[in-house]
Amino acid sequence: MLTSGGKTMADDGRREDDRGPGAAHRGFVVMEFLLEKLKVLNYEEEVLTKHNMKSLSRHYFVSSPFLSSNPGEQFYTFTIIAAWLINEAGRPFAEPQEYDEPNATVSNILAELRALGVKVDFPPSKLKAGSGEHVCFVLDQLAEKALTRRGFSFRRPNYPAETTEEESVMEDDAELTLSRVEEEMIEEPDEEEEEENVMDLEALKLRTSHPETETSSKPDEILEATVDAAEWSLEVERVLPQLKVTVRTDNKDWRIHVDQMHQHRDGIKSSLEEAKSYLDKLQEDISRTLEKVSSREKYINGQLEHLIQEHRGAQAKLSEAKERYQQASGGLTERTRVLAGISEELERVKQEMEEKGSSMSDGAPVVKIKQSLTKLKQEVLQMDVRIGVVEHTLLQAKLKEKSNMTRDMHATNLQEPAAGPFC
């Protein structure tokens, strides 16, 4: 753990054995000091009220298995207080938001801490938990820097010296002082019935402070009483309750403490002897009861042995039935999946059949077919007419060619006889 003098945690204890047995509890002390520093800095009004946060407990940032923790809330509170302390120490620092990146926020806080002159030799991941000795160290150092900037420092307390009061011994061996009588009267204002019967302390003060006036008023010769003794006794009995003075014991006196210790010791001894007898008797009763319970348990186990065996067999059968049920449930799930696929395929086929049926019942395609047939017939007729015209034209061409050939043949035959006699 890092100390307020600037020592690092590695220097303070590199091994757990070197740190001593109290090192595990040092975080509690640092957290208590930190809370006092935060109160001096008035963190309740400047941080808690502003962010609507609850007050910190004495060990809020201490990491312990015996303390309840909320890492998210603790980390957010740590970042808010650290940012406020950095600003109080004279360094500008933006207030972190709840959804900021934790690694970046912690790194920025450690960077500001190093800038303030504090040596840090632990990784930023130690602060992500929101609690622990590293968190307490960082906040303690920041609070120390903020207090230094404000010019505040803790001093050692000055304890007032205890003064022993002078005790005056009275003729009746009662230890009484006028100041104690006045305090007793002030501390017991509830006794309204005895206020009228309290002796006149002012007159007593005057008598004790001015004894010379009494000596001067004393007669020179002995006075003789003229009051009857019986009446004097009655008057004494009447005023005796009014002369009662309560003596308040001094609680700072060590003798009173010793007497109280002896009284408490005697009371504890007497109570222990009485309680020990009761506890011994209770122990015997509990032992007998345990023996009875044990014997009764053995008897019941012997009587119910066959029922236990039957119960075990029933448990085994139940386990087998559960296993079969699980296997059947697995097969049922697979069959359910197959059925869903088949149902989907059936719906698709039904939809196709409905589409085909609707298309078959529709007369528009038939009308189109008839129109197409009629158009084809007309085109066939036109083609037949064209074919006839072409055939007629071809026949005429053939006939014309044939007539031309015949004519040429006749002409050739006529020329050959005419040339014969001149040869």
pLDDT tens digit sequence for 4-53: 334 444 344 444 444 556 666 777 888 888 888 888 888 888 888 888 88
pTM above the 0.85 mark?
Answer: no
Residue type, 9: M
- Rounded to the nearest 10°, the torsion over CA 30, 31, 33, 37 is 130
**Residue-level pLDDT at 316:** 92
CA-wise closest residue to 107 among 79, 88, 80, 77: 79
Interatomic CA distance for residues 304 and 298, integer angstroms: 10
**Residue-level pLDDT at 7:** 42
Those residues with Cβ within 8 angstroms of residue 30's Cβ, 6 or more apart along the chain or in another chain: 1, 133, 136, 137, 140
* Intervals of the chain under pLDDT 70: 1-24, 64-68, 159-225, 244-252, 362, 416-423
pLDDT tens digit sequence for 239-291: 887 776 665 656 667 778 888 899 999 999 999 988 998 999 999 999 999 99
Place of tokens 């097969």: 331
Residue type, 190: D
DSSP per-residue letters across 374-389: HHHHHHHHHHHHHHHH
R_g over Cα of the chain: 61
